Structure formats: structure tokens, C-alpha cells
Chains A and B, each alone.
Chain A
Amino acid sequence: MFANYIKIAWKVLLRNPFYTFITLFGISLTLTVIMVLTSFIDHMIGSNYPEVNRSRSLYISFLARRDSVNTGMMRGPMTFQFLSDHVKTLKSAEKVSIFSFFSSSNAYAGSKKINLQIKYTDSEFWEIMKFDFLEGKPYSDAEIRGSQHVAVITHTLKQQYFQDKDEAAIGKTIEIEGIGYRVIGVVKGSPVTRIYTAADVYFPYTAPKSGYDQKGLNGRFVAVAMSADKQSLKAMNDEFQARISQIPPDVDGRKFTSLEVPSQTFTDIFLSTVSQMGPNGKTIFYAAVAFILLMILGLPAVNLVNVNVSRIFDRASEIAVRKAFGAPVNTLLWQFLVENIFITLIGSGIALLLTFGIISWVNASDWIAHLDLTVNLNVFLISMLVTLFFGLLSGVLPAYRMSRLKVTDALKA
């Protein structure tokens, strides 16, 4: 029975290739846009490689001080000293890592110039951020204490810097700004969009030029504190903020009256870039996003509904004729239903293929290094159901209502 419906639905679709095409085009376009978009959002704020512990981590990325009249403001990353005094010692944290934001430099391999991002980290960094080590291992506390010139590099840099791409890089020396570093580990790179982990070279924080011995409050380092689980985040946040409130804003003799060091989840950080635009900017941003989404999703929906509604008259006459002959209309309604589900499924299938195509193309392009977009199947299923809902609303519901009419009225319609 069901197979028969599908067979008929298939035939109906082939009989109206143009409308089938329009509908499929609309459905697959909309779903593709939704999925690619959510894939980007997931990429930006989800717990992805190597920041798999994002959901139970607090990011402490800046210290801001203001004076009483709000004219002077100082804001930026902190010194290693400050962070090891106030974050490293948190009791409620399972692990704390202190590391620098990346800084740029160059390396030269013969006549080739390589642009580099450098990051100075402690050893806990490698425990919180789960990098895949393709070769070797991270530096240990002993190596850090010994101020050894060692480095962890990404696979991409290894390929660029060393002549023999297949040979192990471990033990080889990479020269950056006149200093040779021994490679002790090779990792799969992190996308540049994950600014807390992305770099090409990772040095122990005791390496030259890291600036870890700087004094005072503002420096070049940030920290991530990881709690045992998501539920303990609040306690960790409270403990940290309680400590911060103990620090006098004018601790270093500067005339500041307020001091804040936010400890935020990654999502909060992501959203606060928006809120920095000011209340007006925020409104505009959300309005613009809402409008764009409405257009991207609304237009194809209106289109689908429009085409469906126009086709109802075809269906009305079909219903009327059937009724006039006394044939059961339910079969016909079932057929419309199956047809609608069927076309939504095909459209979704196309969308899935398209999304995979686009995502792997974007991943492969050099637009963003180490990009690792993935398809979120939950989003896919939800958007498919929404599409189906619109299809049924505009294609089957009117047909159902029409089937309840009297024959003569149906003929008139």
C-alpha cells in the first residue's frame, strides 16, 4: 500500500517536472543555507578540537580598570605573575592553564618565507586543550623550568619548513628570529577562528621573548580555568570573582577606581564582542541578523506556500471529479500527503549533499586555515520538519478542507 503511494507520488512528481523542480530548489536551498550557517556557528562557539573542554571552562582574557570619571581606561591581557597568583591557585578549578595570545613572526626556509603565529604556554595547556599529537609529546614542567629551547609545531608548519616532508620532525631544529628550537612535538593545527588555541608554534612560557617575567597587572597572558564539570562552573566563577574583588584597583599606584577581570564561558565571550558595540549597536546587530535570517528562510517559505496554494486549484478539480464519481477522497489526500513528505525528503537529501559539498569545499580552501566545519544532524532534522510543516500547511491542509466541501462547491472553486 505504502509502496504504491510512493510510486504514485513519484509519477506525479515526474508529471509536473517544473513544479517539482521549483519545490525541490526552494527546499534544498533553504536547508543548505540553514545547515551551513549553523555549522559556522557551531564552529565558532561549540566545544570542538582542540578546545573540547569549552563547556566546563572559564576564560579569563582581560583585566580592565577605569577611573572615577570614566575617562581613562586600561584594558588588556595580564601578566603571567598576576594569573599565577590569582587563577592558578583557585581551589575549585581542576586545571588552570596560563598562555599568551598569539603573536606574529617569520621563519625562513631557504628562499621561502613563512608567516608564523607564536604562542607561549604552560604544560597544563596541553591537558586542557586536547591536541592530537602526530609526533612526539608536549613539553613537561621540567623542560619549562629548565628554560629549554623546545617547541611544539603544527603539521602544516612542519610541511612548510622542513625539506623532507615525510621524515619525522622530532629532534630537528627550527630557527625563529635567530634562535634555534628543538622540535619535540607535532600537532594537528587548530583553526585560526579559535584564537585561544590557534598558533603555528608553541613555546614553553620560559622561552626567550615571552615576557613572562613582566611585573604588574597588564601583560601578554590569559588563562583558562577548567572545572570538574559544568555544574561547578558557577562555584569556580564565584571563588575567582571573590578574589578579584580583594584587589585594590590602585594596587600599582595608578589612579584607578574600579578593576574587573571577567571570567566568562566561551559563549559569553563570543556574545560580548557584540555587546561591546554599545546598546544601539547591539540592537542594530540583532535586528540585522533577524532580518537576514527572516529573508533567507522566509522567502523560500513564502515561495513554497505560494506555489502550493496556486496548485490547489488543480487539486480542487481532482477532488471534485473524484467526489462527483463517488470515489473515496481519502486515498487522494493520502497521496497528497505522501507526495509532500516524499518531495521534502528528496529536497532534504539534496540539501544534505550540497551542505557536505560546500562544507568540504570551504574546509579544503585556504580561506581559514585548519577549518573543520561539520554538519549538525539535529539542525538538519529540525529544519526538515519545519519544511515539511510548511509543505503540509500549504499543500495538504487546503486540500483536506476542500475535500470536506460539497461536490458542487468544490466544482465551483
Chain B
Amino acid sequence: MLRHFFKLIWNKKKANSLLMVEIWASFLVLFGVGSLIIYTIRNYIEPIGFEYENVWALTADQMNDTTEIVGKGQQAIARIRSYPEVLSVSNMSSNFPYSNSMMNNAYEYNKRKVQASTLITDENFGETLDIEMLEGKWFTAADSVGKYKPVVINHKMKEELFENESAVGKVISDKYKVTGVTGYFKEKGEFDKNKPILFEQVSGKFWNSVILMKVKPGTDAHFEAKLVKDVTSMLKDWTLEVDYLTDSRQNQHRITLVPVVIFLVVSLFLLVNVAFGLFGVLNLNIAKRKNEIGLRRALGATERNIALHFIAEMWVIATFSIVVGLLFAVQFPLLDVFGLPSGVYFLAILASIGIIYGIVTLCAWYPSAQASRINPATALHEE
């Protein structure tokens, strides 16, 4: 029976070519949007690994000031730490969590190379953001005396660089010594992928412009204004800016979600459009094939056979289209142009195939049911 459908569709491939093109294109649209959504969701379900509520990032830029930058900065930090509203303070580079700034470096261990985001932080970073430690501990001021710079890496980096070995105490790139391994840490938050991160200890030589502080819940802009005023008086000619991590988070979410939502909405409309079109074309096709329906009924087809016949034909058409679509879709994991894990593409392909069969079944359902109710006696005598 299946062979029969394939033959029927194959012999009518010219008449069905537009339908096939349409389904093929829909498949690719679904595949594209599906990959994007699955990638986004996959990232989203992995924990971010830190606490962003009530954390503020004060960016203090020295501008043209050149004298005793680090010392002034440290004084400001000490002042901030003294407020009762502030629970914990940490000094770090400008690429604080959820910020738009990023820093990448290559690291090496035992000939294995890894590209990792580098955050330059002090010893209070883990505490300020409530980061979970899986191995070892966060570096302290005492660690900075040795030959190697103390670093903490996240679990992802440990996996890529050390696989199953323990990381604590190991030396990376002949320069850094690992003192601890954190759990998850996704620097740009929920929609960031779980990528390797290395936390390097701040040196006393340069000023790192961000002061990250965890404040008591309920602390408002009144305190913030007072804090900025106090710090401004200490850091004359510097520029100061306070970001709430919750705001930066919203901003990051917007950057990620706006394109996803736009693509989703547009492709949803496209698919609805296609579904209507398929439905209309099928209705017309079935009207044209009344004779054949009558004939098949006369030759022993039940109503059910007829309904299934048209649904099966659509499945076969969809199968041809999907096979061609797959030739295109598999290029993405093979050529790896966008750097997504191939599992994402694979899931997207599966989902797209499922949705395509779903749509064609849905579109074929009503016309096929109509076809099965056609009276064979009248259908056979219609010319």
C-alpha cells in the first residue's frame, strides 16, 4: 500500500511540486526558528550559578586622573564597605555579570587549549554573588605571594581543560594556579551558554573599575544617592555610574529575547499562512478527484481507506520535502557555521519533522474526511 502512495505521488511530482516547495521551505523555516528556540531554552534551563538580587555595580572611571589611582579606589571601597546597608563588596574588571562588556583569553594545560572569558576579581567576589564552590576555595590575599597568579575556574572550564582530573593546585599556561572550581557560572545570565570562565585575582598595579556590592534588601535610591555623593567627594574628576544587576539582567534578556520573539511571530504567521494554503489546495485537489474516489470505493475501499488515502498522500509529499530539506539542514551541524552544539540542530530537525507531519495531518484531516463521505454512486457519474 505504501508503495502505491509513493508511486502515485512520484508520478504526479510535477503537479505536487509547488506543495513540496512550500513544505520544504516551511521545514527549513521551522528548522531555523527551532534551532534558535531550542538553543535558547537549553541555555535557559542551565542554572546561572550566582545571585543577582540586591547587587549593584558601581563603575568608577578615573578619566584624566593619573595619581594614586589604585590607592584612591581602595579608599572608596573601604568607605563603601563601612555602610551598614552594604553586606559585601568586591572589586572587579569592567565585565561584571550581565554587563555588555566581555574579555576573552586563551588558556592551556597539557596541550589542551581553551578560550575562556576572563573576569578579574578580588577574593570577595564569590561571597558577594553567592557562588557555589565544587572544589577548593576562592583565592585570598595570602595566595598572591607565590610565583603563580591564583585563579578560580568554573566547572565548565575544568571539564574542558582537566576532564576528570582534579583541578586544584594545577598550573595553567605556566602562569596561573587554580585554587578552586565553582559550579555553574554563566556571566551574562540565563540565556548565556555555559562556557568556560576564569577568575583572575586583581593585582595592585591597575585599577579595576567596577565595585560590586551586595546591599540589604529594600535599600533604595536615597542610599544610592548618598553613596554616590560620598564617593564623588573622594574621587574628584572620576565618573561614577551605578547599575543594578536586575536592570542589566533585564537588558540582557531583551537583547536575547527580542530577536527570538520576532522570528517566532513571523514564522508562526508564515506557517499559519502555509497551513491555510495547504488546506485550500487539498480541498480543491479532492474536488478534482471525485471520480477516483468513487472508483476506489467501488473497488473495495472503505470510508476509512479513503480518508487515510489522502492523509497518506500528504505524508508522502511531506516526506519527499523533508528529505530534500534534510540535505540542507544537516549542512549546519556538518559545517558548524554558527557554532551551536550539534545536539541543538538534531533536536530542531526532529521537532521540525514532527511539526511538519502534524501540520499536514491537520490540514489534510478535514478535506479527507469530506472525501470519505462522498457518495461513490454520484462521484462515478460526475464528469
Residues of A within 8 Å of B281, CB to CB, are 306-307, 310
Instruction: Name the distance in Å between A169's Cβ and chain B's nearest Cβ.
Output: 20
Q: Mark A71-114, 1 if CB is under 8 A from B, else 0.
A: 00000000000000000000000000000000111101011110
Q: Of B28, B224, B279, which is within 8 A of A113 by CB?
A: B224
Asked whether B334 is an interface residue with its Cβ less than 8 Å from the other chain, the reply is no
Alpha-carbon distance A25/B233, docked complex (angstroms) = 63
Instruction: Name the distance in Å between A120's Cβ and chain B's nearest Cβ.
Output: 12
Alpha-carbon distance A320/B221, docked complex (angstroms) = 80
Indicate if the CB atoms of B63 and A299 lie closer than 8 Å.
no
Indicate if the CB atoms of A310 and B284 lie closer than 8 Å.
yes
Asked whether A228 is an interface residue with its Cβ less than 8 Å from the other chain, the reply is no
Greatest chain B CB density within 10 A among A26, A214, A302 is at A302
Residues of B within 8 Å of A25, CB to CB, are 272-273, 276
Instruction: In the complex, identify which listed stretch (A15-23, A57-65, A237-245, A331-339) lies at the interface while the others stay far away.
Output: A15-23
Instruction: In the complex, identify which listed stretch (A5-13, A43-51, A183-191, A205-213) lies at the interface while the others stay far away.
Output: A205-213
Q: Of B63, B232, B266, B280, which is within 8 A of A211 by CB?
A: B63
Residues of B within 8 Å of A257, CB to CB, are none
Alpha-carbon distance A291/B288, docked complex (angstroms) = 35
Indicate if the CB atoms of B269 and A29 lie closer than 8 Å.
yes
Residues of B within 8 Å of A284, CB to CB, are 337-338
Q: Mark B22-33, 1 if CB is under 8 A from A, else 0.
A: 100110110010
Cβ < 8 Å to B, chain A residues 306-334: 306-307, 309-311, 313-314
Alpha-carbon distance A300/B270, docked complex (angstroms) = 7
Residues of A within 8 Å of B233, CB to CB, are 178
Given the known A-B contacts A108-B228, A310-B280, are A295 and B28 also in contact in the complex, defined by CB atoms under 8 Å? yes
Alpha-carbon distance A302/B338, docked complex (angstroms) = 29
Indicate if the CB atoms of A303 and B273 lie closer than 8 Å.
yes
Asked whether A367 is an interface residue with its Cβ less than 8 Å from the other chain, the reply is yes
Residues of A within 8 Å of B276, CB to CB, are 21-22, 25-26, 303
Residues of A within 8 Å of B241, CB to CB, are 104-106
Residues of B within 8 Å of A311, CB to CB, are 284
Instruction: Name the distance in Å between B241's Cβ and chain A's nearest Cβ.
Output: 5
Alpha-carbon distance A232/B126, docked complex (angstroms) = 58
Instruction: Name the distance in Å between B267's Cβ and chain A's nearest Cβ.
Output: 8
Residues of A within 8 Å of B163, CB to CB, are none
Look across to chain B and name the residue whose beta carbon is closest to the beta carbon of A116.
B241
Indicate if the CB atoms of A299 and B18 lie closer than 8 Å.
no
Instruction: Name the distance in Å between B64's Cβ and chain A's nearest Cβ.
Output: 6
Asked whether A33 is an interface residue with its Cβ less than 8 Å from the other chain, the reply is yes
Indicate if the CB atoms of B239 and A103 lie closer than 8 Å.
yes
Look across to chain A and name the residue whose beta carbon is closest to the beta carbon of B254.
A367
Alpha-carbon distance A178/B232, docked complex (angstroms) = 7
Indicate if the CB atoms of B18 and A111 lie closer than 8 Å.
no
Look across to chain B and name the residue whose beta carbon is closest to the beta carbon of A32.
B269
Look across to chain A and name the residue whose beta carbon is closest to the beta carbon of B222.
A111
**Chain B interfacial residues counted at CB < 8 A:** 48
Indicate if the CB atoms of B221 and A112 lie closer than 8 Å.
yes
Asked whether A298 is an interface residue with its Cβ less than 8 Å from the other chain, the reply is yes
Q: How large is the interface on A (under 10, 10 to 19, 20 to 34, 35 or more residues)?
A: 35 or more
Alpha-carbon distance A291/B267, docked complex (angstroms) = 13
Residues of B within 8 Å of A300, CB to CB, are 270, 273
Residues of B within 8 Å of A106, CB to CB, are 224, 228, 240-242
Alpha-carbon distance A303/B269, docked complex (angstroms) = 13
Indicate if the CB atoms of A209 and B273 lie closer than 8 Å.
no
Residues of A within 8 Å of B232, CB to CB, are 177-178
Asked whether B21 is an interface residue with its Cβ less than 8 Å from the other chain, the reply is yes
Instruction: Name the distance in Å between A28's Cβ and chain B's nearest Cβ.
Output: 10
Cβ < 8 Å to A, chain B residues 255-303: 258, 266, 269-270, 272-274, 276-277, 279-281, 283-285, 288
Instruction: Name the distance in Å between A334's Cβ and chain B's nearest Cβ.
Output: 23
Asked whether B237 is an interface residue with its Cβ less than 8 Å from the other chain, the reply is yes
Greatest chain B CB density within 10 A among A19, A22, A291, A310 is at A310
Q: Of A108, A115, A213, which is within 8 A of B225 by CB?
A: A108
Look across to chain A and name the residue whose beta carbon is closest to the beta carbon of B242.
A106
Residues of B within 8 Å of A307, CB to CB, are 277, 280-281
Look across to chain A and name the residue whose beta carbon is closest to the beta carbon of B226.
A108
Shortest 8 CB-CB contacts between residues of A and residues of B: A108-B225, A303-B277, A113-B221, A178-B232, A310-B284, A306-B18, A22-B276, A310-B281
| A interface, CB within 8 angstroms of B | 18-19, 21-22, 25-26, 29, 33, 103-106, 108, 110-113, 115, 177-178, 208-209, 211, 213-214, 284, 291-292, 295-296, 298-300, 302-307, 309-311, 313-314, 367
- 23 A-B pairs whose Cβ atoms sit less than 8 Å apart in the complex: A21-B276, A22-B273, A103-B239, A104-B59, A105-B239, A106-B224, A106-B241, A108-B224, A113-B221, A115-B243, A115-B247, A178-B229, A208-B237, A209-B238, A211-B63, A284-B337, A299-B274, A302-B21, A302-B25, A303-B277, A313-B288, A367-B254, A367-B258
Given contacts A113-B224, A306-B281, 12 further A-B contacts (CB under 8 A): A22-B279, A29-B273, A106-B240, A106-B242, A108-B225, A209-B237, A209-B238, A209-B239, A214-B64, A306-B22, A307-B281, A309-B18
